[in-house]
Each structure stands twice: as C-alpha cells, then as structure tokens.
Amino acid sequence: MKIEIITQKQEWDDFLKSVNNYDFYHTYDYHHISKSKFDSPVLIKYTNKDTYIGLPLLIRKIPNSEYFDAVSVYGYSGHIGSKLPDNFDTTHYEEVLLDFFKTKKIVSVFMRLNPYIKFQNILFSNLGESTASETTTEFGELTYLGKIVNINLSLPLEEQRKKYSRRLKTHINKSNKLLTIKVAETKEEIEAFKALYYNNMKRINAKKHYFFSDEYFNKLISTQDFKTEILLAIENSTSKIIAAGMFIKTKKMVQYHLAGANEDYLDLNPIKFIIDKMRIKATEEGYKNFNLGGGLGANENDSLFRFKSLFSDEYHPFFVWKLVANNRVYYELCKKNEVNYMSSSFFPLYRYKEHHS
C-alpha cells in the first residue's frame, strides 16, 4: 500500500495504458498543455495489492504562503484506475490520500469530474448518492452543477437523428444545401479556426483564460496522446470559411472542445451543421459517445445548454469535488485574504479576490 508521484511522461503513459477507461483530460500532454507557469502537473498513484488508482492534478503554490493547493485541468478529469474489487473499502484510500495532502502542505483540492468514468462512483460512494446536489464528509464535498448532453454513437445513425428536434432537422437540411464541411489540414485553415474562435470569445466578453495561446492550439493539434480534429464550414457560393469546431477523440469518446462562427453567417447555422457532420463521421469511425458538454457554468437554463439539447435527450450529471485537506490553514488563509467564509460558494475561497481581480 503506497502513494507514488508520477511526473515523467513514460510512467504517466504506462499508467493510462493499464487502466480500464480514461479521457484526453487525464493525459500527460493535456496537463502540460493546460498548465500555467506556476502549475506542476502530477499523477498521484495509489497502489494496494492489485488495485491502483490515479489522480491527475495541477499543484499550485498559494501566493505569500508556504502552502499549496491542487486543481484539475480545464474540462472533465477525475479519478481513473483498475477495476475495483466488489468489496473495495474506500476508507483506506481516503486516509492515505488525506495524509499525503497534509504532508505535502496541500490545503485544498478542486476537481471537475468526468461524467463518463463510472469508476469514480465507487470512490465517492461515502459522499452519498449521485443525485444529491451536495454531500459533505471528511473526504470533501460533491456538488452537482448540472447536466451535460451526450449523443449515443452506439445507436444507428437514423436513430441518433430521431432524437434531434424538428427545428434542428430543418436547420441542418438548409445548411446541407448551402455549406460544405471539411477537415482543417493546412496552416491557413488552422489559423482561420483560431481567428473565428477568438472573435467569438470577444463577442461574448469571455474571461481572459478562454483566450488560449497559439502554443496551446499548436500542441493540442500535434500531440500523439489523443487526436484533435478541426472541422470547417465553408459557404459554397464564396468558398469562405464561416465557422469551425475543434473536437478531441480518445479511445471511444469524442469531446466537443471549442468552436467559433462568423456572426454574419449565423443564419446558416454552421455550428449545428459541423456537429452533425462530426456525429456521422465519429459513428462511422467506431466511437461510442459524443459529449457536447453543458451550459455556461453548467447552467441548464442558458441558451448554450438549450442549443446542445437540440441534438439529444440523453444527459449525464456533472459534479465537482471540493476537498479541504487542512481546515485550520484554509480558514487562516481566508482570514488573511479578507474573505468571509460564508459569503460565497467560490472554491477555494481564499483565492476569491485573486480570481475576481
């Protein structure tokens, strides 16, 4: 029974090859692509006889202190590991992990969980049923944020399309007459995607961390850990690229990652058409699930969620895990940073002012 810290790519890759299921969010390359200059990517590996559990995290120094905290990468991360025995007792894992965090002066952990990794349900069984909106124990708190929309690619193509709203079918039929979809292959086509994405972020006044660097995009495209594919929508009469979507494929999963469209052509519904074409392409390639994600901030009532729900009525719950490993230091940091512990659901609260500045 032991805890190991994996920081080297070969060991990280070897661990992923040994587990039942993982997504690109768990890979070494994605952690290094996503990290800031202040983050240290690690894979915490727990071993107990034939059972092993992995927890990929970004470790961050807490400013003006001797302490650290940990967060997951942008997206859907969480625990991964070997098949757990039916009688697996989570207590020892919880104790060992908490002791590790305290020893390493890690005050808190914030993690977005992957709705497709069922392995995690066993590890968090002591935190209550998955339908609970919030349950707290010494091993932290699971908070339900909302639903994500999934297209079941295991179904025949026509069965998938039957789940489309009538309005969506009409829009796609129109797009099919006016647009052509192709895979971005040249540097110019990739640059066109970036420009559309950046313009989209400016139009909606997105926070600065959504303006990913050129290096971020270039590494996503060049990595061998997973397959990144960009689909372009081209307006037939002008041959102009009017929209683009980035999708990431890992094992049997497709993730709808980023997109952008020229606002002058929104009436042609190019993003809907791009998603539809990826659905068909991914099904033909043998993928099983296509995650469209949820609403802005996992909100089920906003326009983004309603847009995605046009494609499918299959939803998965999305949770985040919040753990305070050292209560005394957590409260001291909140006090030091002059934040009222009861004033916000933001986590970790001692970073509230830093995040909102």
CATH for the 154-287 domain, from 3.40.47.10, 3.20.80.10, 3.40.630.30, 3.30.70.100? 3.40.630.30
DSSP three-state, residue 255: strand
What residue ranges do the domains of the chain occupy?
2-146+318-356, 154-287
User: Taking a C-beta distance cutoff of 8 angstroms, is the pair 175, 272 a contact?
Assistant: yes
Which residues, 6 or more positions from 20, have their beta carbon under 8 angstroms from its beta carbon?
80, 81, 82, 83, 119
Phi and psi (nearest 5°) for 129?
Answer: -70, 150
Q: Which two tokens stand for residue 323?
A: 């753990």
d(CA 148, CA 117): 14
User: Taking a C-beta distance cutoff of 8 angstroms, is the pair 114, 78 a contact?
Assistant: yes
pLDDT at position 127, please? Answer: 57
List the beta bridge partners of residue 39: 60
**β-pairing verdict for 179-183 and 140-152:** unpaired
Q: What is the dihedral of CA 272, 274, 279, 283, to 10 degrees?
A: 160
pLDDT at position 122, please? Answer: 82
Question: For the chain, where are the alpha helices, taking DSSP H only?
Answer: 9-18, 28-34, 90-103, 119-123, 157-162, 166-178, 187-203, 214-222, 270-284, 303-309, 327-336, 352-356
User: Taking a C-beta distance cutoff of 8 angstroms, is the pair 89, 295 a contact?
Assistant: no
**β-pairing verdict for 314-324 and 106-112:** antiparallel
Q: What is the largest CA-CA distance in the chain?
A: 65
DSSP three-state, residue 350: helix
pLDDT at position 118, please? Answer: 86
Phi and psi (nearest 5°) for 181?
Answer: -110, 135
Residue 291 burial (CB count, 10 A): 24
Same fold, 2-146+318-356 and 154-287: yes
Nearest to 2 by CA among 52, 42, 67: 52
d(CA 8, CA 305): 38
DSSP three-state, residue 44: strand
DSSP three-state, residue 183: strand
d(CA 337, CA 121): 35
pLDDT at position 53, please? Answer: 95
DSSP three-state, residue 181: strand
Residue 180 burial (10 A CB sphere; 0-12, 13-18, 19+): middle
Residue 90 burial (CB count, 10 A): 17
CA distance readout (Å), 301 to 92, 207, 296, 305, 320: 40, 20, 9, 7, 19
Q: What is the CATH number of domain 2-146+318-356?
A: 3.40.630.30
Nearest to 202 by CA among 194, 193, 211: 211
DSSP three-state, residue 206: coil
Nearest to 69 by CA among 16, 129, 110, 126: 110
User: Taking a C-beta distance cutoff of 8 angstroms, is the pair 40, 58 a contact?
Assistant: yes
**Residue ranges of the chain with pLDDT lower than 70?**
126-137, 297-300, 341-343, 357
